[in-house]
Amino acid sequence: MKSGFVALVGRPNAGKSTLLNALMKQKVAIVSDKPQTTRSEIRGILNLEDAQIVFTDTPGIHKPEHLLGSRMNKEASNVMQGVDLIYLVSDGSVPFSRGDEFVLRMVKQSGIPAFLIFNKIDRMKKEDVLRYLELWQKKHDFAEFFPVSALKQESYEDLIRTTLEYLPEGEPFYPRETLTDAGIRFRIGEIIREKILMCTEEEVPHASAVYVETLKTKKESAEVGALILVEKQGQKGIMIGKQGAMLKKIGTMARPEIEALLGKRVYLSLYVRVEKEWRDRDKLITEYGYGNIDE
Ligand SMILES: Nc1nc2c(ncn2[C@@H]2O[C@H](COP(=O)(O)OP(=O)(O)OP(=O)(O)O)[C@@H](O)[C@H]2O)c(=O)[nH]1
Ligand SMILES: [Mg+2]
């Protein structure tokens, strides 16, 4: 029996969470077209006949502007320390930059074997894929190279088979039916946050947090009360929208997914509150479940 840990690391927006969901064949982490979507480590536990792979999705490594960003970076770097293998996920359709250099340095420092997962090849010309891969090849002694399209590709047999070669023999770390170690309240909050990321623009998505205050489950239904935190009064206005239209839209989009998660009808109430500069307040970041919680 093989059993081990794989970290998915890279720059924001590279497609780490999309890849995690594709590997798991179900949605574990939220995804958006806005950078810095993932704010904390999220584990997806893939149970195979004779192996358990614990994939850990991490926040995209970036130049932080708030305490939240520093903690997200720290979390990604901490996750890298304790794994058997790293997937460095890179968006192949954007040129190699200083951000990639920075991530690469962290991977090198870890000393852990790494695969380069060259993503979004559906957006690239074949000759560019080869050209960019050659460039990456010169930068680091990667154990393997995998050009993929996390969004379109269905099978990862080859990647998974090769991954198993790098994992030690051992007993599973989680009971075999476990899909993720994320708590249910956090997952509900993330579903709502994903809809906020979809529906809002500019600084609003990044200034938003979701905190599930109440979760009352009955036999056939559940009551969910979630607080959406923003940093400014103007952002609160945008989040609520004209006569509550935006909040209603977010709720309407989130509810069916929460219902699927809980397996019952959901009564969802959303509230918006201004929490000034929460992204620089340690206690609040921890309370909302983002960033590095070990410190
Ligand atoms: N065309 C294309 N788009 C992709 C692919 N993989 C991911 N995307 C898109 O890229 C965007 C970012 O994807 P995420 O999975 O949220 O990226 P991430 O690396 O987790 O980003 P952070 O959480 O911000 O670090 C989304 O709009 C995805 O739909 C791909 O293979 N092809
Ligand atoms: Mg992500």
Ligand 1, from 9, 18, 32, 290: best to mutate by most atoms within 8 Å of Cβ? 18
Query: Which pLDDT value is given to residue 293?
Result: 55
Ligand 1: residue of 8, 9, 11, 13 to mutate (most ligand atoms within 8 A of CB) is: 13
Instruction: Identify which of 153, 152, 156 has the alpha carbon closest to the alpha carbon of residue 115.
Output: 156
What long-range pairs does 196-202 form, CB within 8 A, spacing at least 24?
Answer: 196/228, 196/239, 196/250, 197/30, 197/32, 197/34, 197/37, 198/32, 198/253, 199/246, 199/249, 199/250, 199/253, 200/238, 200/239, 200/246
Compute, in angstroms, the gap from residue 216 CA to the centroid of ligand 1: 33
Residue located via tokens 């959303």: 270
Distance from the alpha carbon of residue 60 to the mean position of ligand 2, in angstroms: 7
Q: Which residues line ligand 1 (CB under 6 A)?
A: 10, 12-18, 31-33, 35-38, 59-60, 119-120, 122-123, 149-151
Alpha-carbon span 45 to 66, nearest angstrom:
31
Q: What is the CATH number of domain 184-288?
A: 3.30.300.20
**Cβ 103 vs Cβ 10: under 8 Å:** yes
pLDDT on residue 295: 44
From the CA atom positions of the chain, what is the Rg in Å?
19
Helix, strand, coil % in the chain, rounded to nearest 5: 40, 25, 35
The amino acid at 288:
Y
Which atom of ligand 1 sits closest to the CA of residue 123? 1
Ligand found nearest the CA of 124 = 1
Element (H, E) at 55: strand 51-57
Distance from Cα 129 to the centre of ligand 1, integer Å: 18
Q: What's the Cα-to-Cα distance from 276 to each of 195, 204, 215, 230, 248, rounded to whole Å?
A: 22, 13, 25, 7, 24
Q: Is 50 helix (H, G, I), strand (E, B) or coil?
A: coil
Hey, is 127 helix, strand or coil? Answer: helix
Pick the ligand that lies closest to the CA of residue 91. 1
Kindly tell me the burial class for residue 212, based on how many C-beta atoms sit within 10 Å of its own C-beta (0-12, 13-18, 19 or more).
Answer: buried
Of the residues 151, 153, 206, 290, which should be mutated to test ligand 1's pocket, given the most ligand atoms within 8 Å of the CB? 151
Torsion angle in degrees (nearest 10) through CA of 38, 39, 41, 43 = -40
pLDDT of residue 113: 98
CA of 243 from ligand 1 middle (Å) equals: 33
Nearest to 290 by CA among 32, 16, 42: 42
Q: How many residues does the chain have?
A: 295
CA of 176 to the centre of ligand 1 (A): 28
What spatial distance separates the first Cα and last Cα of the chain, rounded to whole Å? 33
Ligand 1 centroid, distance to 31 Cα (angstroms): 7
d(Cα 288, Cα 230) in Å, to the nearest integer? 12
2-165 placed in CATH 3.40.50.720: no
133 burial (CB, 10 Å; 0-12 / 13-18 / 19+) is middle
Which ligand 1 atom sits nearest the alpha carbon of residue 62? 25
| Cα dist from 219 to 65, 183, 225, 261, 268, whole Å | 45, 20, 18, 15, 16
Closest ligand to Cα 151: 1
Averaged pLDDT in 10-residue chunks for the chain of 295 residues: 98 98 97 97 97 98 96 96 97 93 96 98 95 95 98 96 98 96 96 98 97 97 98 98 98 98 98 98 95 60
Decide: residue 56, CB within 10 A, 0-12 exposed, 13-18 middle, 19+ buried: buried
Enumerate the domain spans of the chain: 2-165, 184-288
Nearest CA to ligand 1 atom 27: 33
Report CA torsion sign: 147, 137, 45, 257.
negative
Residue nearest to atom 14 of ligand 1 (CA): 15
CA of 68 to the centre of ligand 1 (A): 21
* pLDDT score, position 291: 83
